[in-house]
Homo-oligomer: A and B are copies of this chain.
């Protein structure tokens, strides 16, 4: 009793046609209950299950969503980044609830084809991109004629793709305003403005500074690799040690690295320097000191992404969502 490899072998064994087997396994009531149960029993006995690849090819549908994390701006960044990982987990939960599997790709865009490649591969019913990175143009180009695509990230009035994210500019403003209200006279922004979200957060910081009649923020691109980070901070703190300093980090992860680098230098927040994060990850609740931050509602964000994607797959159109950021004051600023 060798292993049954395909529907044809099972059909021969049962003395019926492949069509009958296919229908019986699908539970179609077109088939007499007797035949149906006999074939199902036979399949079970031989541990046979139809090949999904073939099925998907035939029905032109995979019940799989591609989740892409473009790392154009920061090749060294890994999937272990708590933000990605949190979002990924939330998406996985939501997608599973809806019966979708999840095809995960961490892509380092070398050409502009990375997105189209998977969109046209036939392997997914739709795509979720986490973060525009520096690939907004590529994403727009694909979104133009690939409908089932949603993106977590910053919103821009000109964009053609459908996005979900928080109002980054407002968030940046919130963060900087708080620092200024706390008496900081010198504001730094740690983050790489090449990606859209970060650029918008920086813009918000500028808004707040302008309103307060203060000049440009000091900008550190904040490479996420640890080794380059200490010197950057040290350099900045050294040249501005005479005024009360506030740092707006472009993400909680950057804020944590900042806190750690400061600790090495014998500095702590909020006494020596005030530090604001951005994201509202739970990890910030556990730090010493606990991280003050701008919270994005990732749970609701993930829900939106999945919900809108499903509707797009069904042919509906959907509008981008911009959520309210929230100032969360813990201890670091």
For residue A88, CB closer than 8 A to chain B, the reply is yes
- 1/0 per position for A64-91, CB-CB distance to B under 8 A? 1000000000000011110011101110
Nearest chain-B residue to A69 (Cβ)?
B92
Give min CB distance, A272 to chain B, whole Å: 19
State the main secondary structure of chain A at its contact with B: mixed
Contact (A89, B78) CB under 8 Å given A54-B122, A101-B105, A122-B53: yes
For residue A123, CB closer than 8 A to chain B, the reply is yes
For residue A93, CB closer than 8 A to chain B, the reply is yes
A294→B281 CA distance, assembly (Å): 25
Q: Which of B62, B89, B286 contacts A53 (CB 8 A)?
A: B62
For residue A180, CB closer than 8 A to chain B, the reply is no
Q: Please name all residues of chain B whose beta carbon is closer than 8 Å to the beta carbon of A102 when the two chains form the complex.
A: 103-105
Nearest chain-B residue to A97 (Cβ)?
B106
For residue A264, CB closer than 8 A to chain B, the reply is no
Q: Please name all residues of chain B whose beta carbon is closer than 8 Å to the beta carbon of A64 when the two chains form the complex.
A: 103
Contact (A49, B93) CB under 8 Å given A103-B101, A256-B286: no
**Number of chain A residues close to chain B: CB under 8 A:** 43
Segment of A7-15, A113-121, A126-134, A201-209 engaged in the interface with chain B: A113-121
Q: Please name all residues of chain B whose beta carbon is closer than 8 Å to the beta carbon of A17 when the two chains form the complex.
A: none
Q: Please name all residues of chain B whose beta carbon is closer than 8 Å to the beta carbon of A92 when the two chains form the complex.
A: 79, 104, 106
A303→B121 CA distance, assembly (Å): 28
Q: Are B80 and A90 in contact (CB under 8 A)?
A: yes
Give min CB distance, A146 to chain B, whole Å: 10
Q: Please name all residues of chain B whose beta carbon is closer than 8 Å to the beta carbon of A123 when the two chains form the complex.
A: 52-53
Contact (A104, B106) CB under 8 Å given A53-B122, A88-B85: no
For residue A212, CB closer than 8 A to chain B, the reply is no
- 1/0 per position for A140-151, CB-CB distance to B under 8 A? 000001000000
For residue A283, CB closer than 8 A to chain B, the reply is yes
Give min CB distance, A316 to chain B, whole Å: 22
A128→B316 CA distance, assembly (Å): 36
Give min CB distance, A62 to chain B, whole Å: 7
Nearest chain-B residue to A51 (Cβ)?
B122
- 1/0 per position for A283-304, CB-CB distance to B under 8 A? 1001110000000000000000
Contact (A49, B121) CB under 8 Å given A85-B86, A89-B79: yes
- 1/0 per position for A47-59, CB-CB distance to B under 8 A? 1110111101100
A47→B92 CA distance, assembly (Å): 30
Nearest chain-B residue to A96 (Cβ)?
B106
A49→B119 CA distance, assembly (Å): 10
Q: Please name all residues of chain B whose beta carbon is closer than 8 Å to the beta carbon of A86 when the two chains form the complex.
A: 80, 85
5 other contacts beyond A52-B121, A84-B89, with CB at 8 A cut-off?
A51-B122, A79-B88, A79-B92, A80-B93, A96-B106
A-B contacts, 8 of them at CB < 8 A, read A49-B117, A52-B121, A57-B57, A78-B93, A92-B106, A101-B104, A102-B104, A286-B286
**What are the 5 closest A-B residue pairs judged by CB atoms, nearest first?**
A80-B89, A79-B89, A51-B122, A53-B122, A52-B121
